[in-house]
Amino acid sequence: MKINFTKMQGLGNDFVILDYDEFLKIGKTPSDLALKLCDRKFSIGADGLIIVNPNAKDTDIEWIFYNSDGTMAQMCGNGMRCFAKYVTDKNIINKKQFSVKTEAGIICPEILDNGEIKVNMNLPVLEPSKIPFCEEKTLDYKLNIKDKVFSINTVSMGNPHCIIFTDEDTMTLAKNYGAYIETHELFPEKTNVEFVNIKSKNEVTLSVWERGCGITLACGTGACATTVAGVLRGFLDNNVKVNLPGGSLNIEWAGSLSNTNYPVFMTGKAEYSFTGTVEV
């Protein structure tokens, strides 16, 4: 059977997008479908699969999101920007600001006049049990991995993140230590890992080891979590340019150690790669 698909990317973080009717034709679970379609050697290839469900209750629309390894992901910032552009360009949604049902709660993207997408990513989650992280100390926790001791900071943006501020080369650290931290027993649902160089109070460069994917060119929730952790540690101001291998995002968070009850806003681009049909 052949189905229609669209391939999109946000800063090089790439996704296969399917309309719900195409998904229903197949008779496969989203997990099995993600494993097949996201395979870069035998199929389309992507970091994740997004299924558009217009039949949402209590929100304008719903997405179904799975990582390339077949695991469900609660949230993906780059994927959300691609999703928002796709559903508005196809007139599935006929307004510039709308609500999306996700496993991380209701997310509200907005299509800006310059074509970029601004997403209200909701409040950061800092309670250890909800991240989840199996220690009470979530900032500057010392974690021994192989031959190094890392100062880690844990934040959830609907999905778990481990942020490490460092003066070393971030990509080298991601390649050498990312998988070990992702699967560490302190993270019962595994974790995304961000290695961060601070350029100034308003700019960072980071490399990402993404849960269920490995090295990726960008991670929107990771950029958000990094900004939150940086503000809480006193390293960053409330408006930060986050440079990733695939491009840059602007992250805004008005929170502080004394009051974390503010949503995180992420602004960036989303672009089409190609459309086509695929045998499944």
**Digit-coded pLDDT (tens) for 245-270:** 999 999 999 999 999 999 999 999 99
**Average pLDDT for 121-142:** 97
Beta bridge partners of 79: none
Please give the CATH superfamily to which domain 2-110+270-279 belongs. Diaminopimelate Epimerase; Chain A, domain 1 (3.10.310.10)
Residue type, 83: F
DSSP notation for the chain: -EEEEEEEEETTEEEEEEEHHHHHHH---HHHHHHHHT-TTTSS--SEEEEEE---SSSSEEEEEEETTS-B-S--HHHHHHHHHHHHHTTSS-SSB--EEETTEEEEEEE-TTS-EEEE--PPB--GGGTT-SSS--SSEEEEETTEEEEEEEEESSSEEEEEE-SS-HHHHHHHHHHHHHT-TT-TT--EEEEEEEEETTEEEEEEEETTTEEES--HHHHHHHHHHHHHHTS--SEEEEEETTEEEEEEE---SS-----EEEEE--EEEEEEEEE-
The end-to-end CA distance of the chain, in Å, is 6
Return mean pLDDT, the chain: 96
Known catalytic membership, residue 219: yes
Known catalytic membership, residue 76: yes
Q: Which residue has the tokens 């709308």?
A: 98
Domain 128-262 has CATH 3.40.50.300: no
User: What is the pLDDT, as a whole number, of residue 8?
Assistant: 98
**Digit-coded pLDDT (tens) for 30-50:** 999 999 999 999 999 999 999
**Digit-coded pLDDT (tens) for 181-191:** 999 999 999 99
User: What is the pLDDT, as a whole number, of residue 30?
Assistant: 94
Q: Identical fold at 2-110+270-279 and 128-262?
A: yes
Rg over CA atoms, the chain: 18
Pick the catalytic residue from 38, 82, 108, 219: 219
Pick the catalytic residue from 38, 76, 82, 213: 76
**Cα 139 off chain centre by:** 21
Kindly tell me the sign of the dihedral angle through the C-alpha atoms of 99, 106, 210, 220. positive
Tokens of 118: 């601004």
User: What is the pLDDT, as a whole number, of residue 74?
Assistant: 84
In the chain, where the domains are located = 2-110+270-279, 128-262
**Digit-coded pLDDT (tens) for 195-247:** 999 999 999 999 999 998 899 999 999 999 999 999 999 999 999 999 999 99
